[in-house]
Amino acid sequence: MRLDFVTIFPDYFAPLELSLLGKARERGTLEVAVHDLRKWTDDVHRTVDDSPYGGGPGMIMKPEPWGRALQEVTGGTAVAHREPAQSGRARVIVPTPAGRPFDQQLAAELAGEPWLIFCCGRYEGIDARVAERWADDEISIGDYVLAGGEVAALVMVEAVVRLLPGVLGNAESAGDDSFSAGLLEAPSYTRPPEWEGIGVPDVLRSGDHGAIAAWRREQSLLRTRMRRPDLLPPAG
């Protein structure tokens, strides 16, 4: 998979060198480029923002640098009104709190793409014509407001990349994760059998795999009912 990020803060993407993402890059599973939006400005001050039409607080990112950036980064493969899944072209994503919600299902869908481009806005957002012209998706990572799209893009990328073939070790698996089964995961334990006066549930040390599976299922349901009742079908 190829990933491009366009941002005025390239330093935000230092974590792409680390851990899972760094290893995936070393192995060649992942090809990453981070682009400074100011490269596509055309004035001495390298201006990327301007005040909003209609008034209001804060500044809006100007469309022209974004247009030039996306023309270059996509290699001109985008179209005026974006069509679905032309093979070989990038899927262009604008992280925004006004987007559709990111979830495990969308992560799995994005993991099937060969190429993602994240357009990371700052200030009060990007002139809406940029998304109209270029974006396949405008996506929010949750119901709160961040100062910019950079961290949101990293969140999405971490969720997507761990689903790529060969990224998680053999011992691990994405299959039992919270949400992929539609429920929260059961609690897990390792040695020692007692720590700070707290034991490990006996069933997990029983060797009875049927009983262990049943216990985990029950714990998943309990947790989900307590913490995320919205994930369960309506009672009754």
Judged by CB under 6 A, does residue 152 bind ligand 6GU? yes
| Least distance between ligand 6GU and beta carbon 5 (Å) | 13
Q: Measure the CA–CA gap between 235 and 62, rounded to whole angstroms.
A: 49
Judged by CB under 6 A, does residue 63 bind ligand 6GU? no
- In 3D space, the residue among 221, 191, 185 whose CA is nearest the CA of residue 204 turns out to be 191
CB 20 within 8 A of CB 158: yes
Which of 18, 44, 80, 145 forms a contact with ligand 6GU (CB under 6 A)? 145
Q: Is 162 tagged catalytic? A: yes
- In 3D space, the residue among 2, 146, 134 whose CA is nearest the CA of residue 66 turns out to be 134
| Least distance between ligand 6GU and beta carbon 76 (Å) | 26
With H, G, I as helix, E, B as strand and everything else as coil, classify residue 85.
coil
Q: Measure the CA–CA gap between 69 and 212, rounded to whole angstroms.
A: 53
Q: Which of 113, 177, 223, 225 is catalytic?
A: 177
Angle at 6 between CA 100 and CA 42, to 5 degrees: 125
DSSP designation for 180: T
Which of 41, 96, 220, 224 forms a contact with ligand 6GU (CB under 6 A)? 96
Q: Which of 25, 82, 162, 225 is catalytic?
A: 162
Judged by CB under 6 A, does residue 49 bind ligand 6GU? no
Enumerate the active-site residues: 97, 124, 162, 177
Which residues here bind ligand 6GU, judged by CB under 6 A?
A: 95-97, 99, 140-142, 144-146, 148-149, 152
